[in-house]
Amino acid sequence: MLDVSGLSAGYDKLQVLHEVDLTVPDGQLLAVIGANGAGKSTLLRALSGLLRPTAGRVMLAGRDLTGLAAEAIAAAGLAHVPENRLVFPSLTVSDNLALGGWTRRRSGTAAARRAHVLELFPRLATRLDQPAGTLSGGEQQMVAIGRGLMAEPKVLVLDEPSLGLAPRLVAEIFAALAQLKTEHDLAIVLVEQNVRAAFRVADEVVVMDRGRVVATGSPDALVGDDRVRSAYLGGNYSTATS
């Protein structure tokens, strides 16, 4: 389980995150939503060690990861899938996946881990020898997530995986996330602008505004909260499942 308390971070003298608290039990998905510039990507960077927190604590399965280098945090079991699906375009899908395995914590062969990724994203199976840069946007996102999974993380944090993708691919990717949390007991933190899609798969939602958590609750509770709905979900948002 991921347990974050009082987390603050920023860039040079600019403080962006202000005392963020959140908890994600194993097997659950926490969606983080909020307007552009709310600090969602900054939160993920502070979790994964790309950005050093200025205050607060990040605990993973009882271990304090605060202030560790990104490689150490990855090795401890937190995989970060950053925005814009950063695959290595000239390397094949197979090599992109292999690169994700270097921090793996548990035993088991790379082949078994790769088989798991291909079971989750079957459309990658026929494209293993294709340069990743020639894949569609959705397929590249699958490679980026698959690469994170090759390290067998306990916690997966994803930054806007639906960005620019057709609804069918968004549905495929979110179905894979649902499978990962229930069948593999992963704790997932999902930053999303696509609120409807995120609410369908989330167990809990955090709303951020100017670097602070301004609301927390189940998707149904937040949709039922007039203040949250009008300020953060858009005026015509009537149900999480429509």
Residue ranges that bind ligand ATP, judged by CB under 6 A: 11, 14, 16, 34, 36-42
- Exposure class string for 221-235: b at 16+ Cβ within 10 A, else e: ebbebeebbeebbee
Cβ distance to ligand ATP smaller for residue 16 or 31: 16
Q: Give the span between the Cα atoms of 118 and 242, in whole angstroms.
A: 30
Q: Characterise 94 by phi-psi region: left (phi > 0), alpha (psi -120 to 50), beta (else).
A: alpha
Q: Give the span between the Cα atoms of 11 and 224, in whole angstroms.
A: 35
Minimum distance, C-beta of residue 127 to ligand ATP, in the bound complex (Å): 28
Minimum distance, C-beta of residue 93 to ligand ATP, in the bound complex (Å): 26
Minimum distance, C-beta of residue 78 to ligand ATP, in the bound complex (Å): 18
Cβ distance to ligand ATP smaller for residue 34 or 77: 34
Tokens of 152: 């067998």
Minimum distance, C-beta of residue 33 to ligand ATP, in the bound complex (Å): 9
Q: Give the span between the Cα atoms of 19 and 4, in whole angstroms.
A: 9
